[in-house]
Chains A and B, each alone.
Chain A
């Protein structure tokens, strides 16, 4: 399987990348790890005429302690998240979720920025980031802007980024300690989740998100409200499929997914010690 022909430009910095994308217009795309883009290009689901390779923008692979939050460069690989001592200590759920993406070969190439920009509702990191909250930095022709994570996922494979904007940084709140859990339900080691649930306590509030239960990753708002109102984990988890719109595919019907969402939410809350 060979992708359609394209022109290749390598960017040395995010400024250069944004300038190149502006120059080549909406037929151009950023290339990060390529682990979502290449499969799509092989199937002609994506046919960009220009690829701007940002894989070498080395100064965007950092994971930094910024006192009240952690800043992650968009080109940090899943592997670097998984093994980051800083994340393991200050935001362990993110390191753990990164370790559940695909398999080692995928994690060595795939980037957090690529995963978020791709906005696949079945992906792990978008849901983890949504559970944590925080914000994302995007750079475009007119400079930089900050987007709240809660406003970022706008539709099926769609984000708040415009075509000429590059995601540069992910800012996550610290969530140290053991009050978190990620349940990923799949049949084979490297697969995407049939349904997944992330639960994490951020500054005393329990935040829960769902993988593959709609056209975007979703916050389980009804579960969160029930917990805030004093419900037990078991009671709150019963609300997990409220307001979702689960897809149907070879793996599962919407009803089965709704069932999984309830069961996995209960397991996640219990494992996180939230009861």
Chain B
């Protein structure tokens, strides 16, 4: 095979336009972490099972380990780095995870934060079943999920008291 072709890839990440060159096989997860230094997005299984690589593309949670960076051009990508304010104030979902002890090792947390953020943007008042369903694609080995669910309940309160 000939030398691998590099492509100029332009991604819109957290509202900023980022350019880098990479081969077509560069996964979005590796592009975010390796090419753009955004290591908040974690990579666990790399097979689409654990959900810790979840980012938002056009506001929908997707697995960045099963998406080629080149195929995500012209889309709006959001990662965990984009959640807190510029001055460092935590997003209500982050604040709620912190207050409710919804993490132990924290490896799964970026994925859960993105999934939960998208859920509450689409459904500010999800019922129990909708929360369970929304989280079905994210695995956590530590918490047993109960505190993650409580955190989502608390995030709803925080978001409503924000208004």
A-contacting 9-mer, from B85-93, B131-139, B155-163: B131-139
> Are A105 and B61 in contact, CB atoms less than 8 angstroms apart?
yes
Q: Interface code A36-56, partner B: CB below 8 Å = 1, 0 otherwise?
A: 001100100000000101010
For chain A, which range describes its interface: under 10, 10 to 19, 20 to 34, or 35 or more residues?
Answer: 20 to 34
> Are B25 and A103 in contact, CB atoms less than 8 angstroms apart?
no
| C-alpha spacing A10/B49, complex, angstroms | 27
> Are B70 and A8 in contact, CB atoms less than 8 angstroms apart?
yes
> Are A105 and B62 in contact, CB atoms less than 8 angstroms apart?
yes
With most chain B CB atoms within 10 A of its CB, the pick from A53, A102, A190 is A190
> Are B48 and A39 in contact, CB atoms less than 8 angstroms apart?
yes
B37 to chain A, nearest CB (A): 19
Of all chain B residues, the one with the shortest Cβ separation from A3 is: B25
A106 to chain B, nearest CB (A): 7
> Are A104 and B136 in contact, CB atoms less than 8 angstroms apart?
yes
> Are B66 and A109 in contact, CB atoms less than 8 angstroms apart?
yes
Q: Interface code B17-53, partner A: CB below 8 Å = 1, 0 otherwise?
A: 0000001110100100000000000000011110100
Is B63's beta carbon under 8 Å from chain A?
yes
For A102, the chain B residues whose CB sits under 8 A away are 137
> Are A42 and B137 in contact, CB atoms less than 8 angstroms apart?
no
Task: Please name 27 pairs of A and B residues whose Cβ atoms are closer than 8 Å in the assembled complex, sorted by A.
Answer: A1-B46, A2-B27, A3-B25, A4-B25, A6-B25, A7-B24, A8-B7, A8-B24, A8-B68, A10-B71, A34-B71, A55-B71, A102-B137, A103-B51, A104-B136, A104-B137, A105-B61, A105-B63, A106-B48, A106-B137, A108-B60, A108-B62, A109-B67, A189-B136, A189-B137, A190-B49, A190-B136
B116 to chain A, nearest CB (A): 11
> Are A105 and B25 in contact, CB atoms less than 8 angstroms apart?
no
Q: Interface code A127-158, partner B: CB below 8 Å = 1, 0 otherwise?
A: 00000000000000000000000000000000
Is B54's beta carbon under 8 Å from chain A?
yes
> Are B30 and A2 in contact, CB atoms less than 8 angstroms apart?
yes
Closest 7 A/B residue pairs (Cβ): A103-B137, A8-B24, A189-B136, A103-B136, A105-B137, A108-B60, A1-B46
Other-chain contact of B134, A55, A104, A106 (Cβ < 8 Å): A104
Is B5's beta carbon under 8 Å from chain A?
yes
> Are A5 and B71 in contact, CB atoms less than 8 angstroms apart?
no
For A39, the chain B residues whose CB sits under 8 A away are 47-48, 66
Q: Interface code A3-45, partner B: CB below 8 Å = 1, 0 otherwise?
A: 1111110100000000000000000000100110011001000
For B134, the chain A residues whose CB sits under 8 A away are 104
Is B4's beta carbon under 8 Å from chain A?
yes
> Are A38 and B48 in contact, CB atoms less than 8 angstroms apart?
yes
For B67, the chain A residues whose CB sits under 8 A away are 34, 38, 109
Task: Indicate whether A108 sits within 8 Å of B24 (C-beta atoms), given known contacts A34-B67, A35-B66, A39-B48.
Answer: no
> Are B137 and A79 in contact, CB atoms less than 8 angstroms apart?
no
With most chain A CB atoms within 10 A of its CB, the pick from B48, B62, B63, B115 is B48
For B105, the chain A residues whose CB sits under 8 A away are none
For A108, the chain B residues whose CB sits under 8 A away are 57, 60-62
| C-alpha spacing A2/B68, complex, angstroms | 10
| C-alpha spacing A4/B25, complex, angstroms | 7
For B30, the chain A residues whose CB sits under 8 A away are 2
Of all chain B residues, the one with the shortest Cβ separation from A43 is: B47
Other-chain contact of B71, A4, A53, A106 (Cβ < 8 Å): A53
B58 to chain A, nearest CB (A): 9
| C-alpha spacing A53/B51, complex, angstroms | 24
Q: Which residues of A (34-90) have their CB < 8 Å from a CB of B?
A: 34-35, 38-39, 42, 51, 53, 55, 79
Task: Indicate whether A5 sits within 8 Å of B1 (C-beta atoms), given known contacts A34-B71, A108-B61, A109-B66.
Answer: yes
Of all chain B residues, the one with the shortest Cβ separation from A8 is: B24
| C-alpha spacing A51/B51, complex, angstroms | 25
